[in-house]
Amino acid sequence: MEQEINEGLEELFEQIERSLPRRNAQVRKAVDRARLSISDILAKYTDSNGTIPRSKVNAVLRDLAAVEGEIYRNLRNEMAVVVEDVGEETVTELSELILAAIGVAALIKVAGLPKDFANLSVGAAESVFGALTGKTIREFVEAMVSSTFNRRGSDQKRLNDRLRRIARVLRKEIEVTLRESIRNGEGTTEILRKVERKFSDLDWQIDTLVETESLYTMRQSVARFAEESGIVAALKIVDFPHGDIREHMRHKCYIYANSDEHGLGKGVYPIGTRKIRNPHPRCRSVLLFVLKDEFK
């Protein structure tokens, strides 16, 4: 049972990992929508020669200030969609894995599921999840979104802080570009090309956030389910080396996965352990179950 569930969790991790490029593009596109607002601002002040008079610099920059809030809102809204999607995918698949591996009879006998559960033909995953955790999948996913947005990193910053910083930095970079370009008499078309490059320059930061928070959400969902379901005894962290192995050996996921801190076995930790849920940014580790004896 345990091996079957854990193989399914590894497959789910690979599935979510493969989706990351699509999710990165999804959030980038949301941020990029703010370029339309900048284009509108420039069009408002462009004269018949295709340039913006130097006397209009301050007016342009005043209008630009509102774009920072737009960038932040777009970022936050799309990140929430990504995190919610990952959380729902994780717990739905996890419920189906448990049902398939442990079986209806064992869940009724040991986990306390109602006897009429065996007659369910639809909504089985939702019913398993609700019976084991006392929550609906929707309630659980909402808690995962909140957890992701409120988690503090090693620098004590929350996700919202990081999103605000991206919006602020991007607005400041664009402000410098507009001021210099207008004073140099550059045409609006050239200015917009420079603005586009400023957006592109932050792609790596957006990708880092999306990948870090998506994979954290999966591990957090698995760990929180382990805490609430009553069928899991411990969690095992498994790292997936990529890139330079010497560099990977310095990663916390490698250290945690190769340590026996609690006498439970290499990489095995009590289910309430927090540090294994997000060892480092863009971490590719996965959490697996060590089931209670009656479910093995």
Q: Higher pLDDT residue, 16 or 98?
A: 16
Integer CA distances (angstroms), 146 to 33, 143, 149, 158, in order: 25, 5, 5, 11
pLDDT at 9 over 90: yes
The pLDDT value recorded for residue 164 is 95
For the residues 164-182, what does the mean pLDDT come to? 95
Q: Is 250 helix (H, G, I), strand (E, B) or coil?
A: coil
Whether 255 shows a pLDDT value over 70: the answer reads yes
**CA distances for 55 relative to 16, 38, 184, angstroms:** 51, 18, 12
pLDDT at 122: 45
DSSP code, position 51:
B
Average pLDDT over residues 250-271: 94
Distance (Å, whole) CA 192 – CA 173: 13
DSSP state of 206: H
Per-residue model confidence (pLDDT) at position 112: 61
Q: Distances from the Cα of 289 to the Cαs of 6, 22, 105, 125, in angstroms?
A: 6, 28, 20, 18
Q: How many of the other CB atoms lie within 10 Å of CB of 99?
A: 19
- The phi and psi torsions of 286 (rounded to 5 degrees) equal -130, 150
Average pLDDT in the chain: 90
pLDDT digits 0-9 by tens, 105-123: 666 665 566 666 555 544 6
Residue 164 CB partners (closer than 8 Å, separation 6+): 72
E strands, 135-277, are 232-238, 268-270
Task: Write out pLDDT tens, residues 13-43.
Answer: 999 999 999 999 999 999 999 999 999 999 9
pLDDT tens-digit map of 122-151: 467 787 888 888 899 999 999 999 999 999
pLDDT in tens, 48-95: 889 999 999 999 999 999 999 999 999 999 999 999 999 999 999 998
How confident is the model over 197-210, as a mean pLDDT? 94
Phi first, then psi, for residue 125 (nearest 5°) are -60, -45
Q: How far is CA 19 from CA 12, 22, 219, in A?
A: 11, 5, 16
Position with higher pLDDT, 111 vs 166: 166
